[in-house]
């Protein structure tokens, strides 16, 4: 019997195409929703646990290249962003949902952009399928098949990838378990508030007098910025795009008795968050909810290219500093935030027994 290999190959390809088409049609029949994104540190409205069947969650992110001031000295950077913020908006879905992203590149931009989702599988995290030139858009869909908090970032290839990331193009996607978060014993956990903190390293060149330099556009500063990047020594290490973005009047709000989930995203460098005066009641250091959380941590470690998640119930009112506990980076580089917590003081937890007074000398 003679085997027609060409016929077999054609039949297999036809079957594969039919299967792919059938799968696509099946996904299209799912419910489609378009939630409204919020600028960080805030997170879009969402269910913590859901009884809904898997659905297609549609988002739009726009690559925006814009000049930003990153400290109180007026230091400027030609930032590259998703939706105009550093970090980009936090996307929230549930495990088993499909993420459908429209990525747009503003016509006035200088560079190609794309998006690499650490939560996805294949094609360089979607980066190979979302390369858009200025004035173009692409649509990517992937299945969120594992729960956790994940980084997304621009990754156009070569030296452009780290440059775009340290220029601001990164963010968080939160894939919640369909039945919600659980503690180390399997008990359900809930939160009253959720915030995203994006830790961003900047590499601003200085002139002969040590003053930070500015450039007419991003490409003119690229070579000198890359020279600073290669030293692995950031000029700034900040939360949410600039020094003081989450302190003072911009402090994160909470009340005594409220449980707060913090998503701490760091696309490039390792970090070690610490809540001064508080703890990590439950901490997923690498943000993956299939693993049981660590409990009662003082400081936790998040490797570069990951999102850590920490859950804490505030017990005392007042101002809390949330810092990278390399305190040199917190104090001198800018990696600090504040929580402003309202409520009644609990003397049983802490009490000033004696106010400072002058020490009397005993004769």
Q: What is the pLDDT of residues 278-325, one digit of tens each?
A: 999 999 999 999 999 999 999 999 999 999 999 999 999 999 999 999
Q: Are 81 and 64 in contact (CB under 8 A)?
A: yes
- Looking at the fold, whether 174 and 34 belong to one and the same domain comes out as yes
- Looking at the fold, whether 207 and 316 belong to one and the same domain comes out as yes
Residue 361 lies in a domain: no
* Number of domains the chain contains: 2
Domain that holds residue 313: 194-342
- Looking at the fold, whether 276 and 225 belong to one and the same domain comes out as yes
- Looking at the fold, whether 221 and 303 belong to one and the same domain comes out as yes
pTM of the complete model beyond 0.85? yes
Task: Report DSSP letters for 172-235, one per residue.
Answer: EEEEE-TT--B-TTS-B---SEEEEEEEEEE---B-TTSPBP--SSHHHHHHHHHHHHTTT--S
Q: Are 270 and 303 in contact (CB under 8 A)?
A: yes
Domain end: 146, 179, 212, which one? 179
- In this predicted structure, which of 10-19, 160-169, 247-256 has the lowest mean pLDDT? 10-19
Q: Output the domain CATH number for residue 154.
A: 2.60.40.420
- Looking at the fold, whether 86 and 35 belong to one and the same domain comes out as yes
pLDDT at 363: 55
| b/e burial code for range 333-362 (CB count within 10 A of at least 16 → b) | bbbbbbbbbeeeeeeeeeeeeeeeeeeeee
Cite the active site residues.
113, 116, 118, 153-154, 164, 169, 274, 298-299, 325
End-to-end Cα separation, the chain, in angstroms: 116
Tell me what the mean pLDDT of segment 11-26 comes to.
Answer: 60
- Looking at the fold, whether 162 and 200 belong to one and the same domain comes out as no
Tokens read off for 348: 């049983």
Residue 130: Cβ within 10 Å count = 26
Q: What is the pLDDT of residues 66-119, one digit of tens each?
A: 999 999 999 999 999 999 999 999 999 999 999 999 999 999 999 999 999 999
- Looking at the fold, whether 102 and 216 belong to one and the same domain comes out as no
pLDDT at 13: 45
**Residue appearing with tokens 């799968």:** 23
Tokens read off for 154: 């621009």
- Looking at the fold, whether 152 and 53 belong to one and the same domain comes out as yes
- Looking at the fold, whether 202 and 308 belong to one and the same domain comes out as yes
């Amino acid at each position: 019997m003679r085997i027609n290999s060409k016929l077999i190959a054609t039949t297999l390809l036809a079957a594969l195409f039919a299967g792919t088409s059938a799968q696509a049609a099946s996904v299209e029949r799912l419910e489609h929703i378009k939630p409204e994104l919020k600028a960080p540190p805030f997170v879009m409205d969402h269910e913590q646990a859901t009884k809904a069947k898997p659905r297609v969650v549609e988002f739009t992110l726009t690559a925006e290249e814009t000049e930003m001031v990153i400290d109180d000295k007026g230091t400027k950077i030609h930032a590259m962003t998703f939706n105009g913020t550093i970090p980009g908006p936090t996307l929230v879905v549930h495990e088993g949902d499909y993420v459908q992203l429209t990525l747009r590149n503003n016509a006035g931009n200088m560079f190609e952009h794309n998006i690499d989702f650490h939560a996805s599988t294949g094609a360089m995290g979607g980066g190979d399928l979302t390369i858009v030139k200025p004035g173009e858009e692409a649509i990517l869909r992937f299945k969120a098949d594992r729960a956790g908090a994940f980084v997304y970032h621009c990754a156009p290839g070569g030296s452009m990838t780290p440059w775009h990331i340290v220029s601001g193009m990164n963010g968080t996607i939160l894939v919640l378990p369909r039945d919600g978060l659980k503690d180390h014993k399997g008990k359900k956990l809930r939160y009253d508030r959720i915030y995203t903190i994006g830790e961003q390293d900047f590499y601003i060149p200085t002139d002969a007098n040590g003053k930070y330099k500015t450039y007419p556009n991003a490409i003119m500063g690229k070579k000198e910025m890359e020279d600073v990047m290669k030293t692995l020594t950031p000029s700034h290490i900040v939360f949410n795009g600039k020094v003081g973005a989450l302190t003072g009047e911009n402090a994160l709000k909470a009340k005594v008795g409220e449980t707060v989930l913090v998503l701490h995203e760091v696309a490039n460098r390792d970090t070690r968050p610490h809540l001064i005066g508080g703890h990590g009641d439950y901490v997923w250091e690498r943000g993956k909810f299939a693993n049981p959380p660590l409990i009662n941590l003082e400081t936790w470690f998040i490797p570069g290219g990951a999102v850590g998640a920490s859950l804490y119930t505030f017990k005392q009112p007042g101002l809390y500093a949330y810092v990278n506990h390399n305190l040199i980076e917190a104090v001198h580089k800018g990696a600090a935030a504040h929580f402003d917590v309202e409520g009644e003081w609990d003397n049983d937890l802490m009490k000033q027994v004696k106010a400072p007074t002058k020490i009397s000398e005993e004769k």
